Amino acid sequence: MKFSSNDFCPCGSLKKYKKCCKIFHDRINFPKTALELMKSRFSAFAVCNPEYIISTTHKKNPDFSNDSKSWSQDIVNFSKNTKFDKLEILDFIED
């Protein structure tokens, strides 16, 4: 799916993508909270940005791989074959 900077952000904030998660994806800002990180990662999957997913995955996460080329392709395949309707966060704990 082609995604425009002027579309609403996939994270559900009702802000335009360019004023919301794109600032994290473009490394203009970094998420300051766990909530911002969760939303930005959801949006990265929705807009098919494997680099952001890889860079924000902890090395102890079971999904982490040193083979970033293959991992990136897996993320692209997942993103292209998944419909990201909405993000619903039931709970989160800071720190």
**Cβ atoms within 10 A of the Cβ of 77, count?**
12
pLDDT at 1 over 60: no
The tens digit of pLDDT for each residue in 74-90 reads 999 999 999 999 999 88
Residue 40 token pair: 């930005």
Contacts of 44 (CB under 8 A, 6+ apart): 21, 25, 50, 52, 53, 56
Contacts of 80 (CB under 8 A, 6+ apart): 1, 48
The tens digit of pLDDT for each residue in 32-70 reads 998 999 999 999 999 999 999 999 999 999 999 999 999
| pTM greater than the 0.85 cutoff | yes
Residue 51 token pair: 């680099």
